[in-house]
Chains A and B, each alone.
Chain A
Amino acid sequence: MELINQHTKRIMEGCKERARSAGLSFTDESLEYLVTNRDLLELSPKVMIPTLYDYWVHDVEVLREKGKYELYPHNPYETVINTRPPISFYNDNNPDWLNVMIFYHVLAHIDFFQNNLYFRHTWDYDFTGQALSDKRVIAKLRAEKGRWVDYVIEFARGIDNLVDFHGGLTELFMPRGAGCSSRLNYYFDVFLQSVKKVPVSDYLKEVSRYNDCLKHDAQLGEKSFFVEAERRYPELEAHFSRWERQDKPVVRRDLLRYLLDHSSFLARDENVWMRSILEIVRKTSVFFQPQIRTKIMNEGWASYWHEQLFLKDDRIRGHEVDFARVHAGVTSMPRVGINPYALGMRLFCQIEEQADKGRFSFDFQRLADADRRRHFDAGTASGGDYIFSVRENLCDYLFLKNYLDQDFLDRYKLFVAGKRLDQQRMVWQYYVKSRRADDYRAMLLDSLYHPPVITVDQEKGVEGSLYLVHAFEGKQLVHEYIANTLMGIEYLWGGPVHLETSDARLAATPSGPGSPEGVSGRVVAWQRVLYSMNEKVLSRKNL
């Protein structure tokens, strides 16, 4: 790996100036490296972070990718990494004009990393530096503890999708306990809801009474609010003090953190070293969470900007056709399939256009007349600002959910493509399954990253066991993975582990032998089950 030469760096700096004046914002410094295939090979399993800790699964991946390469060429590499300064990787034989285009693409990525609020927790430190120190910690531990280090890494990575990424973000924007006193929280969150079980209307009345009190007197508002509340519920104070004294059940969505805080096994002196590994794995996972959740937006944003900026760049005159070819390749909508670059870019364009015409407004929303809708233009011309705020505040889920509408589908002639077998002619038929925005959106949302919500139920975790509850969202967990994952959790917890989840029972209609998978008539019945892992033995029972 080496840095790009001064000539190319000068091009990059020129791109930065132009990108800044277009409104993108990013830090001054950036590092650009030329990479060889060999570098890529070592980098790709480490998510392109050169300093990520060593782990044997990465080696396996390298080997597997190699073997697979012959069969199905693909390379899951990202070019830009979200570090301080941001690092990006390049092929060494790009012509200057192509570099200009790629630099704009990269700068837009950097802008996204540094301004999208889902990345807020990555802004205050340099991940490569952190990763390097973590790597050294792990290397040192490995020298002392040998292969057990790898087992702990493995078990921790087994649950590294169960980190409360959103919870962590919330705390950044609103520190715990900020704004409200614990008495107030108790009153509204517990007392009214669980103890008194007041109807919703009364609850809302209390909320607005509180707001009134606060409006009346910001200093003493809360006090006067509680004077009234205590008059109504004389037992409130007693309940509150009792509640404050007792151990509160912690409902945790962050299993890794929970283990760090509550595992008696990890608390033992001889096992304390494992905690640093868990911390490292958790930190790494949390770092990458926003990246997985903003793929369409991030690529769309970068494609949008490389197009905008490239065409305005005076340095590349004469390469418009070259650009058009590459750009079309990057951002074409495939006949069948999804291209996140293309989808995201078009959606940003559409949002900008709609916002320019002031269509994200109540006036437009309530218009029913199709013709007037088509010609609606409030002339607000606020599209530029609007897409910047979208870039700042949303992730893929909200991006698609809010803005992917029927107009968008019609405009770009998008549809959900289905695939079915034509038995007579022995061909797969691709067909237009649906042109409804709802279906298209559902299809996309379904493909987004969404780890299961698994919480710890402390009350059910009796006699030193850990009781996990999987919130059912219409899908079961992958069965084959349950045993080993639970075994890992059992190891880290140091006691039996239970997992409550839902399993599907398929009642397939009998189909003749030799007929293609008899899937058409199957019915799914859901059954709540409990998996238990004790002494490395998995058992399952219906609940």
Chain B
Amino acid sequence: MRNKLLTYLEELKAAGMSPQREAELRAELETADDPHAPPASVAEGAGTEGSGLPNFKGGDLTFLQQIPPPYVNAAVLAKSLDELLERDRQREKDGFPRKIQVGKLVKPGKGNAGKVVVVPTTVEEKLIHDSTIRPTGEGGGEGSGTGGSGEGEEGEVIGEQPVRGEADQPGGAGPGEGEGENHELESTAYDLGKTLSEKFQLPNLKDKGKKRSFTRYSYDLTDKNRGFGQVLDKKATLRTIVETNIALGNLPDLSDIDPTRFLIAPHDKIYRVLSPEKDYEPQAMLFFLRDYSGSMEGKATELVVSQHVLIYSWLLYQYAGQAETRFILHDTEAREVPDFYTYYNSRVAGGTQVSSAFKLVNDIVEKENLARDYNIYVFHGTDGDDWDDGGMKAVAEISHMLGYASRVGITVAAHAGQDGVMTTVARFMNTSGLLKSKPGLIRMDIIQEDADEARLIEGIKKLIS
């Protein structure tokens, strides 16, 4: 892998490159062999006093009586959620910071990817000890550990758990909680998500192979019924009357019809009656692309991921079951990952070739013949860095993509001190002229590293509207 990249770097160098740029690329190259695996979940319950002992979240009822957790209807939930948010807005007017966060939008589930659970969270802030920071020598970094029992020498490994497949880790917090916490969204996101849902929908949505349907019905006067019904279908009725009269021989001369002489049987009257109609809707396929190269270290990844969380959540919220999602990560090579969890949590490392991701999308679309049945949306997040300076390959892939895609949205999260517009990706996108020539199909949003949630939502509006 590394050697391959090194050769590639030499090629680039031979084509001419500033020493500074070379240093940048080499720094990224250093990380080429680092794993992309998602990080470990952060120590659970950091600083939440009263949460008690690790692994002791249940009480007598669970331990002794195995009572399952109760279940509540989502409709009840949504209503009271609105009330709570109303209260929170009032709070702000009264001069106190808001307290309710609407968060945990994404269930970083394995396999059956993603599920939106809109839940409010609030923290009762107290002065409590922060157990995550401890002096060295007291097991710093690793945490103080937990208990265990059974055989084994000191230092002996007693069990392993794949970093990726830790969906049902004992202890409650589990994966995603830690990382996810950082991405909890302000309540405004919920408000806005609602507004977005009301005002916007996926752009350029076309009727394509309406295969999917909600279990949703609309009631319409579509069925026809002879003899009785709700609304008389005049045209259809007239047609049967004419047919009947022809059959009866009551209409000798077709060029001279006298409607007053028609014989009308009650059975000839055709009515429309109300009937439930299944709603078929156009379907959408969304590709989320993310640069996870070494240069994405830090805030850039967080921003991109946060924004994608927002888009993803909103989509799932709005187009539940109807919008399908695919996830693609790339450094110098692109790969598709099975679920949002992996997409969301994979670490950054390696070099950058933006074109690889777009190429993979094109390949997938072609191979699976998605363009025929789906409205295709592509969202790409990057820090704007690309080894391929001129972006020739990337632009070529994107142009091809615009042939079938309903919208391509590119988010450039520029690093601090960097002018977002001048990043490689932004530069070649601008020079390509695609942004100007096809504003309906491709959008680019450049955000600075210090962008907040509000800014991200602005960005989504820009990408989606």
Residues of A within 8 A of B (CB): 36-38, 40-41, 56-57, 59-60, 62-80, 89-91, 94, 98, 101-102, 105-106, 109, 147, 150-151, 154, 157-162, 292, 295-296, 302, 326, 329-330, 333-341, 343, 412-423, 425-435, 440, 442-444, 446-452, 454, 470, 473-482, 484-485, 487, 499, 504, 506, 512-517, 519-520, 522-524, 526, 536
Which residues of A sit under 8 angstroms from B39, Cβ to Cβ? Answer: 516-517
Q: List 6 A-B contacts (CB under 8 A).
A: A147-B90, A416-B146, A426-B162, A435-B154, A504-B133, A524-B133
B148/A415 in contact, CB under 8 A = yes
Contact of A339 among B56, B87, B126, B141 (CB under 8 A): B56
- B296: min CB distance to chain A, Å: 9
**B216 contacts chain A at the CB level, 8 A cutoff:** no
Which residues of B sit under 8 angstroms from A515, Cβ to Cβ? Answer: 34
A-B contact count (CB 8 A): 369
> 0/1 per residue, B286-299, Cβ < 8 Å to A?
00000000110100
A432/B160 in contact, CB under 8 A = no
A426/B37 in contact, CB under 8 A = yes
A interface, over-half SS = mixed
A57/B170 in contact, CB under 8 A = no
Tell me whether A414 and B130 are in contact in the complex, defined as CB-CB below 8 angstroms, given that A60-B122, A421-B163 are known contacts.
no
- B side interface size, CB within 8 A: 108
**B47 contacts chain A at the CB level, 8 A cutoff:** yes
Which residues of B sit under 8 angstroms from A37, Cβ to Cβ? Answer: 67-71
- B225: min CB distance to chain A, Å: 45
Report the bound CA distance from A147 to B87 in whole Å: 9
- B66: min CB distance to chain A, Å: 8
Known: A432-B148, A454-B127. 9 other contacts (CB 8 A): A41-B70, A66-B119, A72-B174, A161-B128, A295-B53, A337-B146, A451-B49, A481-B127, A512-B31
Report the bound CA distance from A158 to B30 in whole Å: 48
B95/A524 in contact, CB under 8 A = no
- B295: min CB distance to chain A, Å: 8
> 0/1 per residue, B23-46, Cβ < 8 Å to A?
000010011001101011000000
- A114: min CB distance to chain B, Å: 17
Closest to A520 in B: B141
Contact of B62 among A74, A154, A430 (CB under 8 A): A74
A338/B147 in contact, CB under 8 A = yes
- B80: min CB distance to chain A, Å: 6
Tell me whether A413 and B147 are in contact in the complex, defined as CB-CB below 8 angstroms, given that A151-B96, A520-B141, A524-B136 are known contacts.
no
Which residues of B sit under 8 angstroms from A337, Cβ to Cβ? Answer: 54-55, 146-148, 170-171
A67/B117 in contact, CB under 8 A = yes
Contact of B161 among A36, A430, A449 (CB under 8 A): A430
**B9 contacts chain A at the CB level, 8 A cutoff:** no
> 0/1 per residue, B143-184, Cβ < 8 Å to A?
111111111111111111111101000111110010000000
> 0/1 per residue, B115-136, Cβ < 8 Å to A?
1011111111111111101111
A474/B60 in contact, CB under 8 A = no
Which residues of A sit under 8 angstroms from B417, Cβ to Cβ? Answer: none
Report the bound CA distance from A480 to B96 in whole Å: 15
Report the bound CA distance from A475 to B63 in whole Å: 33
A475/B130 in contact, CB under 8 A = yes
